[in-house]
Structure 1
Amino acid sequence: MPLEISLKGQVGLVTGAGTPYGIGRSLVIKLAQAGAEVVYACDLNTAHFDALEKDVKAIGSNCIVKGVLLDVSSEEQTVALLKKIVKTHGRFDFYFANAGFANYRNLNDLKGEHWDRAISVMTTSCFYAVKYGGQAMAVTSTVKPKSGGNIILTSSCAAFLGAYADIAYTAAKKAVNAIVEAGSVQLSTSNIRVNGFAPGFTRTSILTSSKKAEDGTEYKLKETAKEIQSNHEWFFERAGLRVKPEYYYNRLQEADEMADIGVFLASDLSVSINGQVILADSGFTAAATKEACTGPVPPITPLELK
């Protein structure tokens, strides 16, 4: 019998799910494939919710996708949405705190207002996910007789190495890892797990949407998925990912790959994993010095079968 991930009948939300190409969007589709009953797709970018709903239907899923305008830094908006979900469906099972942005600024250009917005969107929102998402998961009903659920926070490779991003983004994501660890302890008696994953160089919409997302107001991203992918090529080239592609750590990652990890963490296949952040960067951070110390690394010699 094949091994399958099942979230049949579950209800939850994904933040940062409004762009035409990215981890949040892929999470919604993968959750639908896994049998989720209702997924609230949340974002400040509301231009692509209808297309996302159509994409979910196109894969033959009966999952209901609801696009919601949400500023994740707002405690009031977050609590109101969670109350609405639980009152409507009688349950709340998963919370993907995935929203974020990345506007690189050197220390001379980084202002207090930039710092505050980065922390509120990418750190404080994760606190809200753990506190209020946990409370929503603890509500019981006839369709959910026991407290329980999964909270998955999107960290970043920047939380593991100081050269990936600016100080604001790096600090915000480093704090996410701490929230995962402490949150898993605080919710341990409520049958609620808290985990996270930290993407490396992944094709998403983040470089295209970040300036608008930082403003904190609703916007409608006009670029297509193809245009967004093209917009990111300069960054991947500058990072050196186009040089020596024979090294596995230089590969580009797809949003679907990150979504697979997220859905795995929300499923019973990962039931023994709690308080952990999975660094999903194809080994790029582990190979930080590249060939500087080892010199060129040759392919392994195949085993002789004589």
Structure 2
Amino acid sequence: MICEDRVVIVTGGARGLGRAHAWEFARQGAAVVVNDIGVQLDGSGGDGSAAAEVAAEIRELGGQAEVHGADVADWEQAQELVQFAVQRFGRLDVLVNNAGFVRDRMFVNLAEEEWDQVIRVHLKGHAATMRHAAQHWRDRSKAGEPVQARIINTTSGAGLLGSVGQSNYAAAKAGIIALTLNTAAELARYGVTVNAIAPSARTRMTETVFADMMAQPEQGFDEMAPENVSPLVAWLGSVESGEVTGRVFEVAGGDITLATGWTRGPSRDAGRRWEAGELGPVVSELLAKAPVPDPVHGT
């Protein structure tokens, strides 16, 4: 019960990873707001019945859960989502940003609409909820109330390394990493930590792209089960994780990896302006001293 009496919003909480997160937080004693507008994998349609089902199941087992159907990438609706949690449960402690969909396409065939929609739901959908949750926590902090708030964002291996056929998705997920790092620095003064996970799990978004990897085993440990990711998310949402912020964790099965991100590598300083013609050997020297980057997914 490491999240007992905590109030949590889980976006995209009706299926896959979001559903697993909602269940784990409820199991750990939290009150959960299940947010989902019920769109299809490509973002079309809308049906809130799956989110209502998750909340009803949690309540049937003695937990606390409510449903809110905000479009998280709409600034005002994101604000209404945060206000709903505060009005229903008295405050907000944890925001788990998980909502998203894909419009996969090789970059040379990518339409403007496919770029805009994926950037909107993933990157703006994180920023909008974070902005209004941050204001709630800042107001509480300035009023003298101790705040132990947590944001857990969802990036991916595509955001860390890139992924062939997913330039829009990879760019959005890389942006989420930068957003995580920046807000972790800005919000620490208010008692807020901000971290991100890059999960590998069987969901609607992954089972069609990585079908062979995502097949469910007939027996034994299911390494791709979404439920494998949720314990770390719940821990990051707990009071216990207060010293951890601005970090990205890859989670796959029983493996947790801390992603170290960009760091400054080897350098050469001429003490003057370089001449373009002399830079070939300099760049070769820097590349030889630097570690070889991991390849883009799909190459």
Q: TM-score, normalised by structure 1?
A: 0.72
**Superposed, which structure 2 residues align to 1:95-174 within 5 Å?**
95-140=95-140, 145-163=145-163, 165-174=165-174
CA separation of 1:108 and 1:151: change in aligned 2, threshold 3 A = same
Q: Secondary structure at the match of 2:107?
A: coil
> Retained in 2: the 8 A contact 1:154–1:196?
yes
**Aligned counterpart, 2:94:** 94
**Superposed, which structure 2 residues align to 1:6-45 within 5 Å?**
6-19=2-15, 22-36=16-30, 38-45=31-38
AA partner of residue 16 (structure 1):
G
Q: Which runs of 4+ in 1 moved over 6 A?
A: 283-289
Alignment of 1:275 onto 2:246: yes
Q: CA deviation at 1:236?
A: 2.4
Alignment of 1:262 onto 2:262: no
Q: Deviations over 1:256-286 (max 9, x none)?
A: 1111121111113322210001012467999
Q: Distance in 2 between matches of 1:234 and 1:86?
A: 38
Q: CA deviation at 1:139?
A: 4.1
Question: Quick one: higher RCO (CA 8 Å, sep 6+), 1 or 2?
Answer: 1
**Unaligned 5+ runs, structure 1:** 208-231, 246-250, 290-306
Q: Distance in 2 between matches of 1:55 and 1:284?
A: 29
**Unaligned 5+ runs, structure 2:** 39-47, 260-292
Q: Distance in 2 between matches of 1:263 and 1:183?
A: 20
Q: Distance in 2 between matches of 1:265 and 1:165?
A: 31
Q: Secondary structure at the match of 2:173?
A: helix
AA partner of residue 25 (structure 2):
L
Q: Distance in 2 between matches of 1:206 and 1:69?
A: 20
Q: CA deviation at 1:49?
A: 2.5
Q: Distance in 2 between matches of 1:163 and 1:27?
A: 25
Matched residues, number: 244
Bigger-Rg structure (1/2): 2
Q: Distance in 2 between matches of 1:151 and 1:18?
A: 19
CA separation of 1:147 and 1:75: change in aligned 2, threshold 3 A = same
AA partner of residue 61 (structure 1):
G
> Retained in 2: the 8 A contact 1:129–1:151?
no
Alignment root-mean-square deviation, CA: 2.8
Q: Secondary structure at the match of 1:203?
A: coil
**Aligned counterpart, 2:205:** 206
AA partner of residue 145 (structure 1):
E
> Retained in 1: the 8 A contact 2:249–2:256?
no
CA separation of 1:51 and 1:83: change in aligned 2, threshold 3 A = closer
Q: CA deviation at 1:124?
A: 1.2
> Retained in 2: the 8 A contact 1:137–1:147?
yes
